[in-house]
Structure 1
Amino acid sequence: MSRSRVAPMSDVLLATEGTYPYTLGGVSAWADRLIRGLPDRSFTVYAVVANPGTGLRYELPPNVDRLLMVPLWGTDRHEEFSWNAQFARPFGLRRAFRREFLPAYEAFVTACLRPAEVKLADAREALWVFARFAEQGLMKYALRHRATWEVLRARLAEHPVFRHLVLFEAVDLGKLLYRYLAPLAFPAPEARVYHASAAAFCSLPLIVAKERYGRPLVITEHGVYYRERLLNLARLNRAAPYRYFLSSLYSLVVRLAYDAADSVAPVARFNAKWEERLGVPPAKIHPIPNGVDPSAFDITRPAGSGEDPLRLVMVARIDPLKDIHTAIRAMRSLRDVYGRRPDLEGVTLTIYGPAPDPAYEASCRDLVRAYGLESVVQFAGPTHEVNQALNAGDIAVMSSSSEGFPYAAVEAVMAGRPIVATDVGGMREIVREPYGMLVPPRRPRELADAIARMASKRAELAELGRLGRQRMLEEYSLDQFLARYRSWYDEWTDKGDANDEFNASNS
């Protein structure tokens, strides 16, 4: 691929997907802390979003050179929003379509349908062909061509799982490929290091840019992207073949990202086990846990103090992966099983967090009403005063079905709150006895039992909170987090610069 420089280079191009700077919390908080904490590094933020109408939720710091928005939906032609739009069709388009695009498309679809039989190199070559067509504004032409549809239909018909796929779902798969490959129409500009915040679709243009510019690609894994996609597919009300295709597509994208990455930094050691199973060599894996600013999360009210009933607090998105349903059912168990215990009389749960999924939020509120818990479970919405919200509670609760290395848990413990949480992802690395208790996910009664055991220690809660905060200070401070990323960036920037100098001297 040809080398071209379309804008001054940033030190880091950080690619996000559905997060920073357009949503609050989680990965977005990680990105904001990372960028602000390294003011001597310049960043380009390459943000893949659902639609172009998404509004900013973070004020960008001065060391962000550019914000590049990449919408997947909400537009008929991705090229309308690309900073590299090319609408003229080049000479020889039909020949290139037949000779290059169709074989590439067939290889990519085959990789999705029969992943065990396909070399990853074939799919990578197909990705580069897609990138050339997408950057010239030709992806819609190519994917809507009759010959392309015939390739998809033929490959589906050959596979026993897809032979009886209904027509509209087959068409929908073709459309989804157009949407999911949209980032390729938005070429990543040159940067000294490419950094994907997930081994996801946002990493595809970075794979291409790495080849184009010879610069390193590093990936941070928060939750395990592939695992979380499988959890979402399990809830999707579509036919099994349709879900199987999507799971294979996600697997292919993840494996392409891992294969291209020079280094992978999971935020939890738990993630590293999944990454190794998905083909990442152990030598590539360098965990970097999240960190929290101790001055932003401190103890302003000791846990358990005062005479009021105990207050449980949760800071989480109202999202299926956070499994708010389990927390609500646990509160019903607390009432029904432990309702007569004096130390649990009047106990409440307040949930702080945005609701990006209106249907799921509605199901949570319906569940509260169905159990008659309106005075017990309260939805407080998102807050910028997270430390204040945590200090208003006595015990933190997290009921997630999937996590990476959750900021919410570190923040809660840093704020001196004893915690009861589900044993998922990197939670075990944060939540330890005596200040924390872990239970299996999706077990409301066991979550309720653990809350009841923690509540029985009311006189000890303040000391347990102090012990938890001390451990967070020792292992998960913001300074440690930033030092680890600074070292990581330095290592790969130096290697990229050395490679650039070598190529220049031999050109």
Structure 2
Amino acid sequence: MRIGLLTEGGYPYVSGDARLWCDRLVRGLGQHEFDIYALSRTERQEAEGRLPLPPNVGRVRTAPLWTARDDRAAHGRRTRRRYAEAYAELAAALCTAPEPGAPQDTPGASAPEADRFGSALYTLAELARDEGGLTGALRSEAAVRALEQACRAPRALRAARGARVPELLRTAAHLERALRPLSLDWYEDDVLGSADLCHATAGGTAALPGLLARHFAGIPLLVTEYGVHLRAHYLGTSPETPPAVRALLASFHRLLAAEVYRRAACITPGNTHARRWQERCGADKAKLRTVYPGMEAARFTEVGEAGDHADPRTLVWVGRVEPAKDLISLLHAFAEIRKEEPRARLRIVGAPAGAVGTAYLGHCRALAAQLFPDEADGVHDVGDNPVSFEDIGGPELPGLAEAYAAGAVVVLSSVVEGFPISLVEAMFCGRATVSTDVGAVVEAIGGTGLVVPPRNPRALAEACLALLRDPERRERLGAAARARALELFTVEQNVTAFHDLYLEVVSHSPVRRVLVDADGEPLPFAVPAEAHLPGHWTAPRLPRGRPRWAWAPGEGTAPVRATGLQKPVPAAEGAR
């Protein structure tokens, strides 16, 4: 099987998102051939180079999102008008407010909005393929005028009605950047058109090439989201962004997410938290399959099997230092712990994330010095200071496994979290954990650790004290946590799940072509034997419970009960 792997800002580059699990997936499925189609986010990312690729990677095609490649095509009046009309339709879909009385509390798109957005999107893609010059068209004055006209329409979004020229220019620039994949030459029969399946490793812009491969060549699309793209956009929008720009960009990403979910053959959230977001954004429950991230368990084996031999009075926190991790609440909780257990220690292990993280780390150090003035200044080594700020790579903590082994209890104090990678690593190490109830934390630990509300130092302190004072409970929870992690979160589990999903998606996709060898002879077994012709028997099984009524084609006008059983496919019709 040939897989077109679609990435944005990650694999196969050395830095970026999702590079590790993509590499493990490609290496774990060595029986399949992968072609990688990568969108890079920055010039620095490209300059840092790529990871070494396994032999089952056939080719790598890359395109930058950080710069535009305008072919400077000279268009006639008719072509310019077609571009303007398609962009006007796209802008109108973005600016249209929901009908009066329609639900306002869901990020999903209504059917008219979605149809209008999708039609405009594919029209722009067809124009880019046939005429070229899409980048220039999206940057043109006509595009800005179309956006302004849509904002002034009677049913436009309230926040967008007062958009001024600078805000319109800023919105148009963002849309041009997000739509750059429409101009790529990846959609011919010898490129993405030759794939059996497109696998987008994220939603949003990363999935756009998959949408177009489906539109132009009928290639089925599988979308994986370990962090929901729409949620990331909402959280990442700066409070200083003008309201009109914020409203228009949120509408664009909402409609794009809805289109991706509607057209994908299968969607794989990384946890139930992400799954709920996808359902609210319009994803069909029948298409959703939860696939947990696969993590390398071998490097934690020695610590996990050795048991708990750490200082029974030591707490450890491991992760990236940034405000979302709420180390301030952890330090206040530790101050409460010290009142009950004066010999307790806290080891904070991790590096700051960017300039914001560096400033936050300095604030945490100052707070530690303030909370423990008679004992430390917040910078001394373990043994001199009840709170230490350390980094991985020194003689005492050469790796992640040693960092988790440094404490009897691992603490997670975040206020925002997707899938808690550090928590699962602690589970592999057989450590009891105390965590805040955010993101997919409860789903990950599954009852093998203690969970408290976020931003509640008192509750965090009480949970930590309960485990510090009960070694048998710590050992029991740690063993259960390691068993759960080995069952659900290993690379092997992840690779097996995607292997099965690839077969499922391809088996329900129509046969598009006959593959031949160098002499022009048909290749035997080039198409999976379980491939189906499209028909009503390929529909997903109905859920159990209240039956629904369906019409049986070719059996008159009498309604029949839909039993959820698939009609068997005759050998002469269904297999080739």
Corresponding residue for 1:96? 79
- Asked if 1:220 corresponds to 2:220, the answer is no
- Given that 1:17 and 1:47 are in contact with CA atoms closer than 8 Å, whether structure 2 keeps it comes out as yes
Matches within 5 A, 1:27-426: 27-54=18-45, 55-56=48-49, 58-73=51-66, 75=67, 77-78=68-69, 87=71, 89=73, 93-98=76-81, 100-114=82-96, 116=98, 118-135=112-129, 137-158=132-153, 159=156, 160-188=158-186, 189-190=191-192, 191-233=195-237, 235-300=238-303, 302=306, 304-307=308-311, 310-315=314-319, 317-318=320-321, 323-324=324-325, 326=326, 328-342=327-341, 345-351=344-350, 355=353, 358-372=354-368, 374-375=378-379, 376-378=387-389, 380=391, 385-426=399-440
Q: Which has the higher helix share?
A: 1
Which deviates further from its counterpart, 109-118 or 259-268? 109-118
Matching residue within 440, 450, 468 for 2:463? 450
Larger Rg: 2
SS for the counterpart of 2:301 is coil
Q: Deviations over 1:322-379 (max 9, x none)?
A: x12x1x1123213432223336533222125x73xx2321332232133135333525
User: Residue 179 of structure 2 aligns to which amino acid in structure 1?
Assistant: L
Go from structure 1 to structure 2 and tell me whether the alpha carbon gap of 1:366 and 1:167 turns closer, same or farther (over 3 Å shift): farther
Q: Which 5+ residue runs of structure 2 have no aligned equivalent?
A: 100-111, 370-377, 380-386, 515-532, 535-572
Corresponding residue for 2:561? none
How far residue 138 of structure 1 moved from its aligned partner, in angstroms, is 0.9
- Given that 1:338 and 1:344 are in contact with CA atoms closer than 8 Å, whether structure 2 keeps it comes out as no
Go from structure 1 to structure 2 and tell me whether the alpha carbon gap of 1:492 and 1:169 turns closer, same or farther (over 3 Å shift): same
Corresponding residue for 1:7? none
TM-score normalised to structure 2 length:
0.75
Corresponding residue for 1:472? 485
Which deviates further from its counterpart, 467-476 or 56-65? 56-65
Larger RCO (CA within 8 A; separation ≥ 6)? 1
Go from structure 1 to structure 2 and tell me whether the alpha carbon gap of 1:97 and 1:471 turns closer, same or farther (over 3 Å shift): same
How far residue 485 of structure 1 moved from its aligned partner, in angstroms, is 0.8
Q: Which 5+ residue runs of structure 1 have no aligned equivalent?
A: 1-9, 80-86
Partner Cα separation in structure 1 for residue 14 and residue 465 of structure 2: 34
Corresponding residue for 2:511? 498
Which deviates further from its counterpart, 252-261 or 38-47? 38-47
SS for the counterpart of 1:378 is strand
Q: What percent identity do the matched residue pairs reach? A: 28
Which deviates further from its counterpart, 397-406 or 141-150? 397-406
How far residue 415 of structure 1 moved from its aligned partner, in angstroms, is 1.6
Question: In the comparison of the two structures, how many residue pairs are matched?
Answer: 474
How far residue 318 of structure 1 moved from its aligned partner, in angstroms, is 4.5
Partner Cα separation in structure 1 for residue 289 and residue 267 of structure 2: 6
SS for the counterpart of 1:396 is strand
- Given that 1:259 and 1:280 are in contact with CA atoms closer than 8 Å, whether structure 2 keeps it comes out as yes
How far residue 240 of structure 1 moved from its aligned partner, in angstroms, is 2.2
Partner Cα separation in structure 1 for residue 408 and residue 268 of structure 2: 34
Partner Cα separation in structure 1 for residue 295 and residue 368 of structure 2: 37
How far residue 307 of structure 1 moved from its aligned partner, in angstroms, is 4.2
Corresponding residue for 2:442? 428
- Given that 1:38 and 1:482 are in contact with CA atoms closer than 8 Å, whether structure 2 keeps it comes out as yes
TM-score normalised to structure 1 length:
0.84
SS for the counterpart of 2:422 is helix
Corresponding residue for 2:545? none
Which deviates further from its counterpart, 256-265 or 45-54? 45-54
